Structure 1
Amino acid sequence: MNSETPQGIAALRRAVAGQRVVVVGNSESQFGQSLGTVIDGYDRVVRMNLGLVRDPRHQGSRTDIVLTSTDKLDAATIRSAYRPEWVMWATPKREKMPDLTAFGDRLVMHPLDIWEGLYRRIAPARPSTGLIALNFFRNHCDCAELAFAGFDFFASGTFYNRRFFGLFKHPRKASKPHDGDAEARLVGEMIAAGGLRKLATGA
């Protein structure tokens, strides 16, 4: 099976069908919410890019699926940091992708047509990897439940842009290719339509 084929995406969809899935974002504001146990109680835990677990009390400890759009994470780093079952390359920029072939059939490419449809809704900004994840699992999979935590639509910044914890010698200067207001609006529409909820303390 080739990760570029529809069969690759179909296999991932089967893996989450009927499952309780949670997408964990990378906002600085997630620390202090004490949602780790709730997150680890889900069937499938999704994380993105450099959002490694820094504090399991707030982020949980498991990772089943990683969506990545950065050339900073090669296969060895993803495997040692996350130990995921599945990896999805989330951007159409295939030329940026590091060598992830070690994941074999468990590496899949986010479908270009889905990305383009999402982009049209928030252009000229690009969809963040977090929004790509929520859109894919909510609108293109058959999850029994989909929840999210660690999103504040860039209000507090991305936590790995602020602290060095093993990948960078200096804090990254955050770029702003995304539109937090537009993303918050789209996610709000998904919540209102059903099939997506935000985790809160005590959930």
Structure 2
Amino acid sequence: MVGREDMSALQARVAGCKVVVVGNSDALLRQRLGARIDAFDVVVRMNLGRVRDPLHQGQRCTVLFTSTDKLDARQIETAFAPEWVVWATPKREQMPDLTALGDRLLLHPVSIWDELSRACAPARPSTGLITLSFLYRHCRCADLAFAGFDFFASGTFYHRRLLGLLKPRRLSSTAHDGAREQAVVARMIAAGGLRNLAEER
């Protein structure tokens, strides 16, 4: 199988770093957080969330967490040029051809996913929650923040915007439970070690 479950190299990369996870909510494109995002040591993006407006999204990408079969290795390099790529879902049979990424491709451990899945049951954890949870619980970041998460309230920007036109809000998949995920993240924030950039403006 392409990729490896050993996440130690990525954990070493983010250790002691200021890390931001950039979500894909449509609301992000109105928040002017780009400069603050790019000021972090490590910028993590997800799925089809390529930069469309640096003013709001920043420009950099250090790590890409992905669960989509719509991005092959060439497309990832072109859109993100990340140091690391993490296949976030245990559905490895759905992984596109990422062979060209070589040792930069990591597989999010199924054992960690299983633990998070139990917290979200009967829904499945989204890529965003998988990413935040891994960095929060399994890494030693000096600072961990996020932007562009509203737990499906505004929809996903790449589903809503086409040729500059705003499409009707696409309802989130029934596979994910926004309210439950918001509660999980709220507990992380309350415990310390995670903050929401949108609430600090």
Q: Which of the five TM-score ranges fits, normalised by the shorter chain? A: over 0.9
- The normalised TM-score by structure 2 is 0.93
Q: CA deviation at 1:173?
A: 7.7
Residue 74 of structure 2 corresponds to 76
Q: CA deviation at 1:180?
A: 0.3
Q: Following the alignment from structure 1 to structure 2, what is the Cα–Cα distance between the partners of residues 119 and 73?
A: 24
Residue 103 of structure 1 corresponds to 101
Aligned positions, number: 196
Residue 17 of structure 1 corresponds to 15
CA displacement, residues 95-146 of structure 1 (integer Å, 9 cap, x when unaligned): 0001111111110000111100000001110100000000000100011110
Residue 124 of structure 1 corresponds to 122
For 1:31, what is the secondary structure of its paired residue?
A: helix
For 1:200, what is the secondary structure of its paired residue?
A: helix
Task: Say which of 178, 181, 184 aligns to 1:180.
Answer: 178
Summarize the Cα distance change of 1:202–1:57 in structure 2 as closer, same or farther, 3 Å threshold.
farther
Cα pair 1:53 1:61 within 8 Å, conserved: yes
Q: Following the alignment from structure 1 to structure 2, what is the Cα–Cα distance between the partners of residues 197 and 120?
A: 24
Q: Following the alignment from structure 2 to structure 1, what is the Cα–Cα distance between the partners of residues 200 and 180?
A: 28
Residue 38 of structure 2 corresponds to 40
Q: Following the alignment from structure 1 to structure 2, what is the Cα–Cα distance between the partners of residues 176 and 61?
A: 31
What amino acid maps onto 1:77 in structure 2? Q
Q: CA deviation at 1:71?
A: 0.4
Residue 94 of structure 1 corresponds to 92
Residue 156 of structure 1 corresponds to 154
Residue 191 of structure 1 corresponds to 189
Q: Following the alignment from structure 2 to structure 1, what is the Cα–Cα distance between the partners of residues 47 and 134?
A: 16
For 1:62, what is the secondary structure of its paired residue?
A: coil
Structure 2 residue runs without a partner (length 5+): 164-168
Structure 1 residue runs without a partner (length 5+): 166-170
Please tell me the root mean square deviation across aligned C-alpha atoms, in Å. 1.8
Q: Following the alignment from structure 1 to structure 2, what is the Cα–Cα distance between the partners of residues 164 and 57?
A: 19
Q: Following the alignment from structure 2 to structure 1, what is the Cα–Cα distance between the partners of residues 10 and 197?
A: 24
Within a 5 Å distance, the mapping from 1:31-70 to structure 2 comes to: 31-70=29-68
What amino acid maps onto 1:147 in structure 2? A
Cα pair 1:161 1:174 within 8 Å, conserved: no
Residue 113 of structure 2 corresponds to 115
Cα pair 1:161 1:173 within 8 Å, conserved: no
Q: Following the alignment from structure 1 to structure 2, what is the Cα–Cα distance between the partners of residues 56 and 201?
A: 19
Cα pair 2:87 2:107 within 8 Å, conserved: yes
For 2:149, what is the secondary structure of its paired residue?
A: coil
Cα pair 2:19 2:143 within 8 Å, conserved: yes
